[in-house]
Amino acid sequence: MEHNLAVGLDIGTTKIVAMIGRKNEYGKLEILGIGKSKSLGVHRGVVNNITQTIQSIQQAVQEAEVAAELKIQDVTVGIAGQHIRSLQHSDYITRANSETVIDEDDIDRLINQVHKLVMLPGEEIIHVLPQEYKVDGQAEIKEPIGMYGGRLEANFHVVVGQVSSIRNIGRCVQSSGLKLEGITLEPLASANAVLSQEEKEAGVALIDIGGGTTDLAIFRDGIIRHTAVIPFGGNVITEDIKEGCSIIEKQAELLKIKFGSAWPGENKDNEIVSIPGLRGREPKEITLKNLSKIIHARVVEIVEQVYVEIKNYGHEEQKKKLIAGIVLTGGGSQLKHLKQLVEYITGMDTRIGYPNEHLAGDSDDDITSPLYATAVGLVLDGLKRQERKKVELQQEIESNDEELVDEDVKEKPAKERRSFLDKLTERVKDFLDNAE
């Protein structure tokens, strides 16, 4: 596979998407091929049938390969699902010598200490995100490197997940004949695809409404502050329509997409849609008002749960205000009048997030749909990873050429302080290699 290509694999509850992309000469993302298949072995973001998931992955990958006329080898995979939770944690280290300045090694030591937190059985830390530092009690320090001080402490946002679920995803990818290039948290991938830097600075909550889960990522001052995965998504709405109208799932899904609205007041009482009965039975008549009442009840529940998480982050405090409000993305964000309902419940400015922030101008309308936000984010992530690898190789060659001690000290930690997902990827790869 060419070097400047990356493949994102979004393993969702309703669909699996494989997307091949590369950077064009303007630094924008050009999508070469996209493949999607119905996801059969995944429930609420967690693999529950390995064989079916492998088949779905292979189908999506094959479709993308045909479209791009390329063979796929390495993929960047997103993880989400109901097993992900996050917590806030503060930790500190005491430095042996306060006469020297704080460097990357001190920060590594502090972050590694967070990794010793005791988790529930089967859980592992996926992400440790420093929020702000304190040096000798002086608070609100964004970058402590180069400062003097004896005690270095920080607040961390720690994301935790079930390691077996992550390994199962790794297993499916490997058994599909692919190589796991990287693992990324899906809310972070979607955020990369649809949010602008200004929004992340001002404070924004990204809500990604998928089929099985709704992911939340909150940014402020350019740093991710809070993440959550709520184990409900578009599928429960379909389920409710199916039960409430006594129709089959396929019809419920179509009804939701074609006529569904999150705001019951929009429909007149006399608007009726007729659904063919099963095998010679009478057709069913359903009023659109009833349909939107069913949808409204469930959507309100999902949005309120997300809003509880936004409040948990501390949105009410002046310092933590999210000025850019809410951005909705994912397939579920295409529900009519959802934006108005979210604004009504939360009182926050809301927009629908399309992943066209980084896409080349001539991209298909299909690709710029919120449905593909996560896949676009994963491709971007894969490209970033490759750029970092190139830089590292370059650095290694340079440091081997000239034994510049100072340069070495400066450059090496940048390599060390890699995202923990990279380390996790390594561990999952090792595990899979040894498990064969």
- 278: domain CATH number is 3.30.420.40
Range of the domain at 261: 234-298
Helix/strand/coil for 11 = strand
Measured CA to CA, the distance from residue 380 to residue 69 in angstroms comes to 20
Measured CA to CA, the distance from residue 310 to residue 44 in angstroms comes to 21
In a domain, 292, yes or no: yes
What is the model's pLDDT at position 311? Answer: 92
In a domain, 430, yes or no: no
In a domain, 266, yes or no: yes
Contact 406, 103 (CB under 8 A): no
In a domain, 58, yes or no: no
Read off the tokens for 170: 């790794």
In a domain, 187, yes or no: no
Measured CA to CA, the distance from residue 362 to residue 35 in angstroms comes to 19
Cα angle for residues 302, 305, 306 (degrees, 5° grid)? 90
Residues 6+ apart with CB under 8 A from 218: 203, 204, 205, 206, 224, 225, 226, 227, 310, 313, 322
Residues 6+ apart with CB under 8 A from 298: 232, 236, 237, 240
Measured CA to CA, the distance from residue 85 to residue 228 in angstroms comes to 6
15-23 and 5-11 strand pairing: antiparallel
Nearest to 357 by CA among 185, 198, 181: 198
| Size of the chain, expressed as the number of residues it contains | 436
- Count structural domains, the chain: 1
Contact 44, 31 (CB under 8 A): no
Measured CA to CA, the distance from residue 217 to residue 205 in angstroms comes to 6
221 phi-psi bin (left φ>0, alpha ψ -120 to 50, beta other): left
Q: How many CB atoms lie within 10 A of CB 215?
A: 30
Read off the tokens for 188: 């972070």
Measured CA to CA, the distance from residue 396 to residue 410 in angstroms comes to 13
Torsion of CA 141, 147, 149, 154, to 10 degrees: 30
214-220 and 204-209 strand pairing: antiparallel
Helix/strand/coil for 388 = helix
In a domain, 77, yes or no: no
Alpha-carbon dihedral sign for residues 72, 74, 76, 77: positive
Helix axes of 373-401 and 186-194: crossing angle, nearest 10 degrees: 90
Read off the tokens for 142: 């964004």
Instruction: Locate the DSSP E strands across 163-258.
Output: 179-185, 204-209, 214-220, 223-230
Q: How confident is the chain (436 residues) per 10-residue block, as mean pLDDT?
A: 82 94 90 93 90 96 94 90 87 91 91 88 87 91 92 92 90 94 89 94 95 93 90 94 92 93 81 86 89 94 95 86 95 94 95 89 84 94 89 84 54 52 80 76
Model's pTM, two decimal places? 0.87
Measured CA to CA, the distance from residue 214 to residue 166 in angstroms comes to 18
Contact 330, 291 (CB under 8 A): no
CA-atom Rg of the chain in angstroms: 23
The one-character DSSP state at 73 is -
In a domain, 209, yes or no: no
What is the model's pLDDT at position 417? Answer: 55
In a domain, 256, yes or no: yes
What is the model's pLDDT at position 381? Answer: 93
What is the model's pLDDT at position 26? Answer: 86
What is the model's pLDDT at position 116? Answer: 87
H helix runs in 314-404, sequence order: 338-346, 373-401
For the chain, the first-to-last Cα distance in angstroms comes to 25
Beta bridge partners of 152: 93, 135
Tokens 């302080």 belong to which residue?
A: 417
Measured CA to CA, the distance from residue 238 to residue 36 in angstroms comes to 20
